[in-house]
Amino acid sequence: MNEAGAVVAPGPFAAAVAAARACGALVVQPRMGFGDPATMRAGLDAVARAPATTVATLTLDSYTRLGDHEAAERALAEGAPLNGYPIVAHPPDVTRRVLDGARRHGVPVQVRHGSALPEDIFAALLRTGVDATEGGPVSYCLPYSRVPLREAVRSWARCCARFARMRDAGVEPHLESFGGCLLGQLCPPSLLVAVTVLEGMFFRQHGLRSLSLSYAQQTCAEQDEEALAALHRLTGELLPGLDTHVVLYTYMGVYPRTRPGALRLLGAAARLAVRGGAARLIVKTPAEAHRIPTVEENVAALVHAARVAAAEPPARPSVADTGIYAEARTLVEAVLELDPDVGLALCRAFERGVLDIPYCLHPDNAGQARGYLTDRGRLVWARPGRMPVRVDRRGGGGEMTSERLLTALSHVAARYDEEAASAVGRDGVRELAG
């Protein structure tokens, strides 16, 4: 809201998502990024022309994510391949021409980057007029860097304030929290929900008014539906009056190795997005287990996800309550009690173990909490560390041994590959629609 209390008008990215929601369509989005401007432009053009409701993505390279812009420039000069688009190394006019590949079709572009200290990236966004990006001070620091959390919080605070100034030029920028993903797997849902809501509150505190909150598909569809319901509820309670939506990520852990298995998992993500009321789905391709996907593979995955989503009935009015909302709310409140400044509260929460990401090796993470996979495929707490959460022993033994960890990490991939193989054998079908 602005000072007068009026609801803000979203910029092009958020407006496109809102328009799709009004029509009952799920927005599907790739994670695509290429170093070569011509290839990147062609990719954005292909996504924009796909027979689906899409937004496009410009994913940055690893050098840019780490702030090593000289290495990105050397790679460009030497013609070496990059695993994403080096937005800081390319001149702004080059990037504007790249973005026109989607914008000429009326499709907005989000920049995705993975940086704990993204100030150069945000400066490039402002130079090129990109109104949407993602990340967060926790979600892009602890899982992906060794940067001290306090440095990341200060950097993200400056970036948010700078990004918010886009509205001075008549554009309301949009920022997505990556907090609902964290390490992508083996993290019980209440922590994912709590962190993305807390990052949303951090963004609001630093001037942003158009936000999306994330959640990554996990191991149990019923549990994921409950988590999405909890996320919607907490967003309404703790981020009222803002322009918000929920984005679901297709499973981010070990991916099925077979094409039918991967398509089956992607279809499950699309159905979950519809049932859970997500406005946007980040799509993965059958190539994920092997290599970086091509443009054509990205587009095919988008079309597949959109078709499955279109056939799914609308969101369910209610889901089972096993306590995810209450646990996530308890975590959020425990953090907010530590300091009125959300960034400082987050730092203190990790210092004291009030928040603790399982299997995260960052020095600022306590590393005492552990989750485990029950015999019903649900993710629950084996050890909460100092977090105010409960341990549920009803689904089997609670401690995650190295053998159980390896089994749990491959659980989803193995399950969907096996289900797809059984369906092929039973029906003689060579490729599954999900």
Question: Which amino acid is it at 138?
Answer: V
Among 3-7, 34-38, 319-323, which is the least confidently predicted range? Answer: 3-7
Average pLDDT over residues 226-246: 97
> What is the predicted pLDDT for the residue at 414?
79
> What is the predicted pLDDT for the residue at 422?
81
pLDDT digits (tens, 9 = 90+) for 169-191: 889 999 999 999 998 778 999 99
Among 53-57, 99-103, 208-212, 412-416, which is the least confidently predicted range? Answer: 412-416
With a pLDDT cut of 70, the percent of the chain lying above it is: 93
> What is the predicted pLDDT for the residue at 415?
82
Give CA–CA dist 368/104, Å, rounded.
50
pLDDT digits (tens, 9 = 90+) for 305-321: 999 999 998 877 788 89
Q: What angle do CA 43, 311, 425 make, to 5 degrees?
A: 90
> What is the predicted pLDDT for the residue at 419?
79
With a cut of 80, say whether residue 36 has pLDDT above it: yes
Average pLDDT over residues 402-408: 74
pLDDT digits (tens, 9 = 90+) for 99-140: 999 999 999 999 999 999 999 999 999 999 999 999 999 999
Assign 284 a pLDDT band (cuts: 50, 70, 90).
very high
Assign 5 a pLDDT band (cuts: 50, 70, 90).
very low
With a cut of 50, say whether residue 421 has pLDDT above it: yes
With a cut of 70, say whether residue 434 has pLDDT above it: no
With a cut of 90, say whether residue 74 has pLDDT above it: yes
Average pLDDT over residues 7-32: 89
With a cut of 50, say whether residue 350 has pLDDT above it: yes
With a cut of 50, say whether residue 430 has pLDDT above it: no
